[in-house]
Amino acid sequence: MNISEEFDTITAISTPFGNGGVGVIRISGDKAFDIIEKIFTNCKFEPHRFNHGWITDDSVKIDEVLVLPFFAPNSYTGENVIEIQCHGGVNVVRNILNLVLKNGARMAEKGEFTKRAFLNKRMDLSQAEAVADIIHSKTSEFAKLSVKNLSGSLREKTNEIKNEIFEVLSKILAGIDFPEDVKEPEYDYLTEKFEDIIAQIDKVLASANASNILRQGIAVSIVGKPNVGKSSLFNTLLNLDRAIVTDIAGTTRDVLKETLDLGVPVTLIDTAGIRKEGENKVEEIGIEYSKQSLNEADLIIFVCDVAQGINDDDLAILELIKDKKYIIAANKADIVNSSQRNLEQQLLKLQSNENKLSCTYISALTGEGIEDLRKILTSKVCEIEPDMLEYVTNVRQQACLSKTRAALEQALIASKLRELQDLISIDVKSALLALDELTGELITDDILDNIFEHFCIGK
């Protein structure tokens, strides 16, 4: 795909592959109406109003459908667009797609509809990227946050920053170009302005880490000795029966992974019980895997059995994870009384260091304490409240913002040193260019292709 490529008419199935109630085929481009007129029985179109009729191939009926027309520029792509809603069987959708292709459209590439929307200025790049984020979001929270960008929250903020930089640059250039008529701006004004704009960029970048965590998710590993209730906890947290739960030690032999939505997508990993030596080969492999999964984990839930108390094996595991972020879940709290909930004291006595470790008492069997554990997990996992996140950014956008920031930092140093404003203007211009990259006003084919490659066909 090339930015300068002439826009031909493209088509794709916009609904997921498989059988469903409804299937949608989308056509976008100059020939969209010509094509539909060749294959549809009811072509008196009014903008945004459904027409009911039949898709036919040489008068052979293919399916009974609804057709929704959009006239350029009032469509998703900014071009003429036709959406055909047909019955959702794999083959009927495919038959219609083939018919559209036969009549002059070409198969759309990944994200090509959205790419056209961007190139036709229906949205800026941050909004186009938000479309991909919404489609691929692993949690409902992230989908909601991405909608903020679709509605232009990041675009507005970047434009605000850009206007401010532009204003400063105009003043500097006016002073340089018309020294007789316009006084060059005061250095104090420049310093103050640069500091202020850098602070605004920092505010957007402050949520960069949180954005990345929300987008990619984190891995949480459940570890502990055999039989302390790791699999039971895994199931309880996920509300499923996937892991095998038995009272024979060493029954979880491979590593199980499932995704849990805690606002942040969490890959929950149930590991085989960590013991010094497995009783057989398979179990040993499981134990090896669990040690590896410790390395991959961003956070660990260390499960111990409150009824048995803490022993050397538990301490050995604690030693293994001591440099990691972890939570202690004291399981089987249902079979002990409140005076036996004293793991903290036991740990304090047994451990050589003075750190007091806090435990959460749970029962994977009865569900006691599980909600609290979820809350602790969420707070540890995010160290951010998703609703407090003002701007969602991706790595590309963060890099552009950092470039802008670095250029402004140079301009700030130069203005503090009262260097020639001609020189300062060079850094200010680079700051603007980096922002143009963010919004997509200055972008290469390669970067664009890379962005839209991550879309699905039909979007």
Which residues are near ligand GDP by CB under 6 A? 224, 226-232, 245-247, 251-252, 273, 331-332, 334-335, 363-365
For ligand GDP, the nearest residue by Cβ is 229
Shortest CB 233 distance to ligand GDP, Å: 7
Shortest CB 299 distance to ligand GDP, Å: 18
Q: Are strands 22-28 and 10-13 parallel, antiparallel or unpaired?
A: antiparallel
Q: Which helix (H) or strand (E) holds 399?
A: helix 395-416
CA distance linking residue 434 with residue 405, whole number of Å: 9
Q: For residue 111, give every residue at least 6 positions away whose Cβ sits within 8 Å of its Cβ, in sequence order, or none.
A: 132, 451, 452, 453, 454, 455, 456, 459
* 74 vs 246 by CB, closer to ligand GDP: 246
Q: Is 432 exposed, middle or buried (0-12, 13-18, 19+ CB in 10 A)?
A: buried
| Amino acid (1-letter code) at residue 259 | T
**DSSP for residue 109:** P
* 70 vs 302 by CB, closer to ligand GDP: 302
* 301 vs 435 by CB, closer to ligand GDP: 301
Helix, strand, or coil here: 372? helix
Return the residue matching tokens 């001591």. 322
Shortest CB 379 distance to ligand GDP, Å: 23
The first and second tokens of residue 448, run together, are 């664009």
β-bridge partners, 22: 87
* 171 vs 230 by CB, closer to ligand GDP: 230
CA distance linking residue 36 with residue 62, whole number of Å: 13
Shortest CB 339 distance to ligand GDP, Å: 18
Shortest CB 347 distance to ligand GDP, Å: 19
Shortest CB 404 distance to ligand GDP, Å: 50
* 16 vs 367 by CB, closer to ligand GDP: 367
* 98 vs 246 by CB, closer to ligand GDP: 246
Do 392 and 152 meet the contact criterion of CB atoms below 8 Å apart? no
The DSSP string of 97-121 is HHHHHHTT-EEPPTTHHHHHHHHTT
* 62 vs 370 by CB, closer to ligand GDP: 370
* 347 vs 373 by CB, closer to ligand GDP: 373
Shortest CB 364 distance to ligand GDP, Å: 4
CA distance linking residue 135 with residue 153, whole number of Å: 18
Shortest CB 373 distance to ligand GDP, Å: 12
